[in-house]
């Protein structure tokens, strides 16, 4: 598991995969891994992600019909963000309901597998092939077919997307 340190000025990214919380290093989930989902809905979490993810974590519906997986510390941050949304705004209520109603606390078994609940497998259209990607502070789980479609469509517009990020003062 890892912790957020607000006063940290520099972050280090070392090996591919994750940086576990030790020595003041900031954890980063990154990379793409292909795994199978068995008939019981179990899927292996890549070994490189397990230490930073921890033995308990939260899985929920993500955007674009994937699943988001958060370490418990990161989930606590997300909960606070959701609580800060204005209750009087219908979009905020709808998003919070959607996000939290699909959330479930999960654990890894001794083989490093997670049991994906049927409602989340259905939402993400997961069958026997899944892709697990690291996206900074969370993992995403995609059906292989949906991930291939998403990456193909995104690759075609990658330059346009990068240009729009300039509005956020983001520079590659």
Tokens read off for 98: 């959607």
More confident site: 128 or 169: 128
| The model's pTM | 0.81
Residue 13's pLDDT is 38
What do you get for the CA distance between the two ends of the chain, in Å? 29
Average pLDDT value for residue range 136-140: 95
Residue 2's pLDDT is 38
Residue 18's pLDDT is 40
Average pLDDT value for residue range 41-66: 95
Find the length of the chain: 172
Average pLDDT value for residue range 31-55: 95
Catalogue all structural domains in the chain, each as residue range(s) with its CATH number.
Answer: 29-144 (3.40.1550.20)
φ, ψ (nearest 5 deg) of residue 124:
-85, 0
């Amino acid at each position: 598991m890892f912790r957020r340190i607000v006063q940290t000025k520099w972050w280090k990214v070392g090996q591919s995969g994750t940086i576990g919380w030790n020595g003041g290093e900031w954890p980063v989930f990154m990379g793409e891994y292909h795994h199978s989902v068995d008939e019981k809905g179990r899927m292996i979490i890549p070994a490189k992600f397990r230490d930073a993810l921890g033995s308990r974590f939260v899985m929920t519906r993500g955007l674009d019909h994937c699943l988001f997986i958060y370490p418990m510390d990161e989930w606590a941050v997300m909960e606070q963000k959701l609580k800060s949304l204005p209750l009087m705004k219908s979009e905020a209520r709808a998003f919070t309901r959607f996000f939290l109603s699909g959330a479930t606390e999960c654990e890894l078994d001794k083989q490093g597998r997670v049991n994906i609940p049927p409602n989340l497998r259905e939402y993400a259209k997961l069958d026997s092939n899944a892709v697990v990607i690291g996206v900074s502070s969370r993992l995403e789980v995609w059906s292989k077919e949906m991930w291939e479609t998403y990456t193909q469509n995104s690759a075609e517009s990658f330059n346009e997307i990068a240009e729009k990020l300039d509005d956020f003062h983001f520079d590659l």
